[in-house]
Amino acid sequence: MSIQEIAKQIVENGRGLLAADESNGTMGKRLASIGVENTEENRRQFREFLFTTEGIEKYCGGVILYEETLCQKTESGVPFAQLLEAKGVVPGIKVDAGAVMLAGSQDEKITEGLDGLRERFADYYKAGARFAKWRAVIEIDSHSRPTGQAIHANAEALARYAALAQEAGIVPIVEPEILMDGDHSLVRCDLVTREVLETVFDYLQLHRVALDGILLKPNMVIAGKECDEQPSATQIANATVACFQDVVPDIVPGIVFLSGGQGEVQATENLNAINLVDSDKPWILSFSYGRALQQGALKAWAGKEVNKSATQQIFAHRAEMNWLAANGEYTADAEDNRQAATA
Catalytic residues: 217
Q: Specify whether the CB–CB gap between 5 and 173 falls below 8 A.
A: no
Contacts 24+ apart (CB under 8 A), 119-126: 120/95, 121/95, 121/164, 121/165, 121/167, 121/168, 121/170, 122/168, 124/70, 124/93, 124/95, 124/168, 124/170, 125/168, 125/169, 125/170
Q: Which residues pair with 63 in a beta bridge?
A: 18, 91
Phi, psi of 90 (to 5 degrees): -80, 125
Phi, psi of 65 (to 5 degrees): -110, 155
